[in-house]
Amino acid sequence: MSKKSLRVSLALAALLFSISANAQIFGGGQVEQLMQRKREAEAAMKQKSDAQQNTGCKIVDSSADTLLAAWHSSKDMIITKKMHEDGPAKGKFISYKYYPDKGAIACNDGVVVAKIVEDGLEILDRDMKVTIKNGGVAINGEPCGVVTRDDITIYGRRLGYFSCEATRELVAFYFLHDYLNPDDLQKMKVAREEQKKREAEAEAAFKANMMLVTAGNFTSPTGTVIGKIASNGDVFNKAGQRLGHVSSDGKVTDFNGNAGSFNSKGMVYDKTGSPIGHIQPNGPVEDASGSRIGHIYNDGRFGDSSGSTVAKFSGNGRYVAAVCYYFFFRSIR
């Protein structure tokens, strides 16, 4: 037998052995068993998918992280945890069906409660026109918040979110119609206006005192004194060693002479006059590139880049103290 014939014979033998082995392995109905297992796995996957679809995506209250309702995209329906207290649907969970072809949202008691229009929606039983443009929300013509495809914020307060994406109109409808009470919007508006007023007053006071040098201690979050500014503008570390001097005309000096300067617009400069940072009246402290390196709070606390408190100044001249702390006398930290 030639070498070529020998190779062919060996290959055929190996093939026959493989067929025989596989027949033994999958013989006796085992192929059918394997197919049955596959069918059972596919059925389990479908059952899980159907269950998820029936459950819907969650609609959640942001403040308490509690479940409020569910959005079923396959049914175009929102099902809430509230129940009808009277009427033909008494005792049933309140739900809302969206009819895309009619541009309407109807409650399961048969009442149409909202209409989708070109620039937002009209909530009929609240006499509310909700305009949505570029994500911004206006109620009856008054801008008041933002809405995305999964959450909404009104008057600075995040109301809640969908755990999946819906439409901006549906997100706005649920939270403005079903989550908020009719009086809530007015209360939120007043609270937001009062907050803005306080912020404006704090900003005005901050600007008025930006160049004010006052005596005060720098303390750590635990209350340990880590430095101070004397009434004459001298700056000291926690050991009582004099580090330099700051004055109300915006000049800062250290042992080597001129260290830098600052002005009433919040700009901070090094000794060559090059900008090295900026402190905004509303709190953020930024370096020359605009990256946040800290934050000033109204109560005298200083924060790091994430806003976490790292120190506090006891005097009124928070801006001057921040200039010293963040830019010129870092050994205070």
Query: Within this chain, do residues 240 and 174 fall inside the same structural domain, yes or no?
Result: no
In a domain, 35, yes or no: no
In a domain, 221, yes or no: yes
Last residue of a domain, one of 188, 207, 237: 188
Measure the CA angle with vertex 129, ends 124 and 73; round to 5°: 70
pLDDT computed for residue 15 by the predictor: 45
CA-based nearest residue to 293, from 326, 323, 265, 330? 326
pLDDT computed for residue 331 by the predictor: 81
Q: Is 89 helix (H, G, I), strand (E, B) or coil?
A: coil
Domain of residue 142, residue span: 57-188
pTM over 0.85: no
Query: Within this chain, do residues 130 and 230 fall inside the same structural domain, yes or no?
Result: no
pLDDT computed for residue 8 by the predictor: 43
Query: Within this chain, do residues 150 and 257 fall inside the same structural domain, yes or no?
Result: no
In a domain, 319, yes or no: yes
Query: Within this chain, do residues 166 and 92 fall inside the same structural domain, yes or no?
Result: yes
CA-based nearest residue to 105, from 118, 96, 117? 96
CA distance 233 to 98: 67
In a domain, 304, yes or no: yes
pLDDT computed for residue 225 by the predictor: 94
In a domain, 293, yes or no: yes
Query: Within this chain, do residues 89 and 137 fall inside the same structural domain, yes or no?
Result: yes
Query: Within this chain, do residues 239 and 176 fall inside the same structural domain, yes or no?
Result: no
Query: Within this chain, do residues 122 and 83 fall inside the same structural domain, yes or no?
Result: yes
Query: Within this chain, do residues 238 and 146 fall inside the same structural domain, yes or no?
Result: no
Give the H/E segment covering residue 296. strand 292-296
pLDDT computed for residue 1 by the predictor: 52
Sequence letter at residue 170: L
In a domain, 154, yes or no: yes
CA-based nearest residue to 94, from 106, 104, 102, 147? 106
Up-side HSE of residue 54: CA atoms within 13 Å toward CB? 6
Tokens of 333: 């930290």
In a domain, 24, yes or no: no
User: CB–CB of 170/151 below 8 Å?
Assistant: no
Is the torsion defined by CA of 39, 41, 42, 43 positive or negative? positive
CA distance 132 to 331: 51
In a domain, 260, yes or no: yes
Last residue of a domain, one of 188, 205, 240: 188
pLDDT along the chain (333 residues), means of 10: 50 48 53 69 60 70 90 92 90 94 93 94 94 94 94 93 93 94 87 85 75 90 93 92 92 86 90 91 87 90 91 90 91 79
Query: Within this chain, do residues 66 and 184 fall inside the same structural domain, yes or no?
Result: yes
Query: Within this chain, do residues 172 and 245 fall inside the same structural domain, yes or no?
Result: no
Measure the CA angle with vertex 282, ends 277 and 260; round to 5°: 25
Query: Within this chain, do residues 225 and 156 fall inside the same structural domain, yes or no?
Result: no
pLDDT computed for residue 200 by the predictor: 81
Q: Domain tally for the chain?
A: 2
Decide the pairing of beta strands 257-262 and 267-270: antiparallel
CA distance 71 to 268: 52
Last residue of a domain, one of 188, 207, 242: 188
Helix axes 30-55, 3-26, angle to 10 degrees: 60
Query: Within this chain, do residues 63 and 172 fall inside the same structural domain, yes or no?
Result: yes
